[in-house]
Amino acid sequence: MSHRSSRNLQVATHLLLSIVLLSGFPLGAMAQEYIPPDRGAPGRREGGGTRGNCLRGEPPLIALIPNTNFGTTLEARPTFYWHVPPTNSPLAEFVLLDAEDNEVYRTTFQLSGNPGIMAFSLKDQADAPDLEVGKDYHWYFSLICDPGDRSGDIFAEGWIQRIAPPANLTNQLASTPAGDRATLFAQSGIWYDALNSLAILRQSQPRDPDVATQWTTLLRSVGLDAIANQPFLN
């Protein structure tokens, strides 16, 4: 899609959102299509590395990010999501770097070995720093197959930037129920918050067919519909 076509689509989408808000029509009834910002970054959303005896099945390690490997957030301490395959790996590691590859944060945690979608929130980490507005951060998530030889790690990587909320979005969010905010985030190109808002709904309302459809539509819009039915891990 050309830059002009992408921009026209975003303008049309924002106009539609304004009409929806004025009419009182529920945002949840709209398709959860993600409209990405006009940039990307080098990365790897599907885990690569030496398999050995570390993995026990498919699908592979997959970061729930757009195929541009880049996404934005309004949160100082956002939440990240990955699909973790069945694994014999006892540990995982999350590393956050700044744009110059200086380490900002690093932590390891236990894995259950079960497959599914797992969340990792910086809000839950007392020693994690706040992301600074306007700065890019590079993250890695690794399955540690052999703590004595990290060359065999299976990892995914991506980028995140915390942005200041546009004034029009701030006003819309203030008047929009929490259950409908994922659409606003998705149509505004704010991936991490769209995904997290909808993941929270999906877990709190697992039998709601509308929420299930919205979740699948959002993942399909970035080519991740193959894992839309995977369970969430505690």
pLDDT tens digits, 136-150:
999 999 999 888 888
167 part of a folded domain: yes
- Angle among Cα 193, 199, 205 to the nearest 5 degrees reads 135
- Angle among Cα 160, 166, 172 to the nearest 5 degrees reads 110
Residue 27 has pLDDT above 80, yes or no: no
168 part of a folded domain: yes
More confident of the two residues 167 and 139: 139
pLDDT score recorded for residue 51? 54
- Beta-carbon contacts of 63 under 8 Å, excluding residues fewer than 6 positions away, are 45, 46, 47, 80, 81, 82, 141, 156, 157, 158
Residue 39 has pLDDT above 90, yes or no: no
| Contact status, residue 202 vs residue 215, Cβ threshold 8 Å | yes
pLDDT score recorded for residue 195? 97
Residue 17 has pLDDT above 70, yes or no: no
Q: Strand, helix or coil at 213?
A: helix
pLDDT score recorded for residue 83? 96
| Total number of domains in the chain | 1
For residue 91, give its domain range: 3-227
pLDDT band at 48 (very low <50, low <70, confident <90, very high): low
| pLDDT tens column, 83-114 | 999 988 889 999 999 999 999 999 999 998 89
233 part of a folded domain: no
Residues linked to residue 108 through DSSP beta bridges, in sequence order: 93
The mean pLDDT of 74-80, rounded to a whole number, is: 98
pLDDT score recorded for residue 47? 84
Residue 49 has pLDDT above 90, yes or no: no
Percent residues over pLDDT 70 in the chain? 85
| Closest to 27 measured CA to CA, from 176, 190, 232 | 176
Cα–Cα dist 138/136, whole Å: 7
| pLDDT tens column, 171-204 | 998 988 888 899 999 999 999 999 999 999 999 9
| Contact status, residue 155 vs residue 142, Cβ threshold 8 Å | yes
pLDDT band at 24 (very low <50, low <70, confident <90, very high): very low
CATH number of the domain that residue 24 is part of: 2.60.40.1220
| Contact status, residue 201 vs residue 182, Cβ threshold 8 Å | yes
pTM above 0.75, yes or no: yes
| Contact status, residue 172 vs residue 184, Cβ threshold 8 Å | yes
Tell whether the torsion through CA atoms of 32, 82, 108 and 150 is positive or negative: negative
More confident of the two residues 14 and 195: 195
Residue 5 has pLDDT above 70, yes or no: no
Amino acid at 101: D
